[in-house]
Chain A
Amino acid sequence: MNKFLAGLLIIVMHYALSIFLPWWTIVFLSFIIVALFKLEGKSSWLIPSMSIMLSWLIQILILDQKTNFRSSQRIADLFDAPGFVSYIVPIITVGLVAGLSGYLAHLFFSKNEEVGIVEEEERMTIDEYKDNTPGLEDRGII
């Protein structure tokens, strides 16, 4: 749920911010969201990366279909390239930028020294922990 919310927030906030601010505000947005939601491991780069890529893909598709997908080819004509390049180049780059920024946030705020290598730890409530960890009473912890 946390991850979903983080992704949604990135999409909504970046869309709103990009009305007034340049596209590269995604660097800060991704960093802040990952830090706030304490996304770790793969999620730290995958969530911002995937959400912004999805957001841009949808936006571009909506714009392109208005001209029966002629616009992507006209944009690509600028570089003498096939039309799909107009999609791939911005989407991949913005995904990389957002992902790197999220991962950087994770590096900054993670307490684990081996950041980026360890798998994300399983989260559980204290009762679940008790149930799943036999012998706690024997040790006098509880």
Chain B
Amino acid sequence: MKKIIKIALVSIILIGLTYISQNGFRVNEKLRIPGLTRLLNPADGLWNNIDISYHGSEKQVELSGIDGDIRIYYDDRLVPHIFASSEKDAIYAQGYVLAQHRLWQMDFMTRLASGRLSEVLGKATIDRDLIMRKYGLEYSAKIAVDKWNDFPEGYETMIAFKDGINAYINSISDKDLPLEFKLANYKPVAWTNLGSALVSKYMAFTLSRYGPDIKNTNARLLLGEEDFNRLYNQRNSKQTPVIREDLSMASSVMREKPAGIDFLENPVSGYTYKEPIPGAGSNNWAIGPSKSASGNAILANDPHLQLSLPSVWYEMHIVTPTSNAYGVTVPGIPGIIIGFNEDIAYGSTNVGQDMLDYYTIDWVDKEAGTYRVDGKVLTAERIPQTIKVKKGPDINWDMMLTVFGPVILESDDENSPDLAMQWMAHRTPDKPEYYSFVQAMKCKDYDCYKKATSNFLSPAQNFVFADKQGNIGMRVNGNLPVKYKDEGILLKKGNSIKNMWTDIVPRESNPQTYNPSLGFVASANQISVDENYPHPFNGGFEDYRGRRINELLEQGEGMDVEDMKKFQLDEVSIKAREFLPKFLKVISENTSDVRTSEIYNILADWDYKYNADSKAPYIFEEIAVLFENKVWDEISGQEYKISFPDFWILNQLIEENQSDDFFDDKSTSEKENFSQIAVQTFTEVAEKISLNDDLSWATKKPGRVMHLLNIPGYSKMGLKTGGSGDVLKAIRGGFGPSWRMVVELGEKPIAWGIYPGGQSGNPMSPYYDNMVDDWAAGKYYELLFSNNEEEIKNRSKIVHKLTKSNE
């Protein structure tokens, strides 16, 4: 009996220990400890992710899907230089290389976009999956992929890309799987075209989801039409649009405001939604011969995105008999998205035009999916969705597709309507968007580049261009909806399909400029056009960076590459430069002892630069936030969502009327003005801040680059970067310049670039985050560019040969 008990006891302990060592255990809803012995065993655990293949090696792989031999040379930063005998082979190799270094990232991005993370990560990601399902990215990506079949030329490219990725996937065993697959204990599936479409749609999700319609509607109802228009719906007269030339022209497609259109009568609330990422934006510009010291055109671009490890970008050089292109792409998308070749350089920034409108749904019977439009009862199409959850029950949910688009927001408040959305990113382009980036690699002039990008639909981008003849151009590219003035600022009633925009601005009418007399083109997410352009623009536009780059380029003469780098790293804040002198003036006039205040002196002596070591940016930001809260006391504290007006509006109020009603503190019986609120703000901030603390900007607001799963040990935090979202060096916490590139197009292009990451997605690799510190320090690498294979070979550390298999 004693023996049986012993056997039972030992068996239980053995099975339990083995199970936990293999599968791990859940600590709580959010945290699960993985099976540590599975993860750390020497046979196929993380020890096999040791990156030793990049210390000088030559490898040959036989593959069946290529037409000829491909040579891949990796330089000292692990940038691949692909030499192939055809475009098809080059794109195949691109897929192979991307999978080799970023396989898990690609898998993660497609799961994120399609709402399938919970399938491998469990309960913790259910909410995120549900949001992505509601946005219907997978639904629209599938439609896009179906249409790719109608475009054989581009389809062949995509098949080669997919085959390249799968050739790598098929070549590895479990022990070679990227670390994160082992961590979450799952395996990659074969790559499909849908994966590339999802990555493309996710770019649109990140960049073209501006839609404060709910908050605007509440603001208008709270403040009335006049004040709403004054605070939320006017152009900044100091702003310089992206296209500065006169764009008054007749348009063949115009839209009048439908008769009898009306808006909501009551504020709305009860919605749960993910706000678009603040800080997503970019800078780009190009200078022509008249502004350049060498007489060559110079192009600069730095897209500002959420910074992550692995990085959003992958750097590569692709050489074929018809092209020689260098730049970056997003893993999962073929071609070069931002880059250059021997003749041209190109890049992009985001267009802030509002591409997403919400429509209230007048349900007749929500359960049955019936709703009322134009006096008729329509039935929403139900598209069943199943969210598979690892170690949990499936979640079944129906996407409701109305005539406007999917129902995206359901309110917990019975007095607020459910909302459907109409979103440009749901539309399908005639040619795949990725094809623009494959074609652009081969272009030698602006006409070719315009043609290559003419089918790019979403997210709309300001495509900047320069060539070696000294030509420069900028084009607001992508589908722009034809709207009536102010359309889409507020929630629309879904009582009529007339409320929907349907037409697209003809591409030849998209705002653009080529060789402007100014000698430069520049964009930094500011509004694209002035009021003369026939199609109204409204949306989320940046207020300060565009002005700053225009100021620098206007003043600059005989500029060179080093100037372009300085501009990308410029930390001057127009926001502070405009506001602070007025603020400090009233402080000094109204407070007798303020001139002896150290805090006052720090601000008064400030050069308005968001320098890492400076204390002034932190003090200024404290003042700005508190001042905003005091001025907008009428707006804050509402039961429903509502946001403050843009900061430049405050500046305008100060300039126009320092006794404006909004400066009044509503909690007192007296009427306050600007100076009184300013003094209150300064006093409170001065009392709150201790100068004995380390107030340097980099300490208070350090930069960070997080691993995609937010694993601290695989992230870079506490970066002493400097910069701010409002300055050209637009680093704000975990957001910022995700790739900095400067290209001078002479007889032979000379280019510099850097991104905050590393080429390898493997945290165990020395190339995982090797560029982050240099990026934070504002350094650049000269990019190794040549069509001379021998030269590239001599400067490379590793050679991979993909040879055609005879099988």
Contact = CB atoms under 8 A, between A and B. Distances in A.
A93 B713 contact: no
B7 A93 contact: no
Given A94-B37, A103-B10, A78 B713 contact: yes
A29 interface: no
A60 interface: yes
Interface string A96-110: 110011011001100
Contacts of A56: 41-42
A67 B766 CA distance: 10
A67 B10 CA distance: 39
Given A79-B713, A96-B17, A115-B6, A74 B42 contact: no
Interface size class of A (residues with CB under 8 A): 35 or more
A24 B52 contact: no
Contact of B44 (A18, A27, A74): A18
Specify the main secondary structure of chain B where it touches its partner.
Answer: helix
Interface in B493-527: none
A100 B11 CA distance: 8
Nearest to A86: B40
Given A89-B40, A93-B36, A100-B14, A63 B47 contact: yes
Given A78-B183, A97-B18, A100-B13, A71 B50 contact: yes
Interface size class of B (residues with CB under 8 A): 35 or more
A41 interface: no
A61 to B, nearest CB: 9
A80 B21 contact: no
A23 interface: yes
B309 interface: no
Contacts of B42: 56, 59-60, 63, 90
A100 to B, nearest CB: 4
A19 interface: yes
A115 B52 CA distance: 49
A11 B714 CA distance: 34
B2 interface: yes
Interface in B430-452: none
Contacts of B594: none
B283 to A, nearest CB: 34
Contacts of A121: none
A93 B36 CA distance: 9
A125 B105 CA distance: 66
Contacts of A74: 763-764
B711 interface: yes
A113 interface: yes
A130 B143 CA distance: 90
Contact of A71 (B17, B21, B44, B47): B47
Contacts of B764: 67, 71, 74-75
A54 to B, nearest CB: 12
Interface of B: 2-3, 6-7, 10-11, 13-14, 17-18, 21-22, 36-38, 40-48, 50-52, 183, 711-714, 763-764, 766
9 contacts: A23-B45, A56-B42, A74-B764, A77-B763, A78-B763, A90-B41, A96-B17, A103-B10, A104-B7
Interface of A: 15, 18-19, 22-24, 27, 56, 59-60, 63-64, 66-67, 70-71, 74-80, 86, 89-90, 93-94, 96-97, 100-101, 103-104, 107-108, 113, 115-116
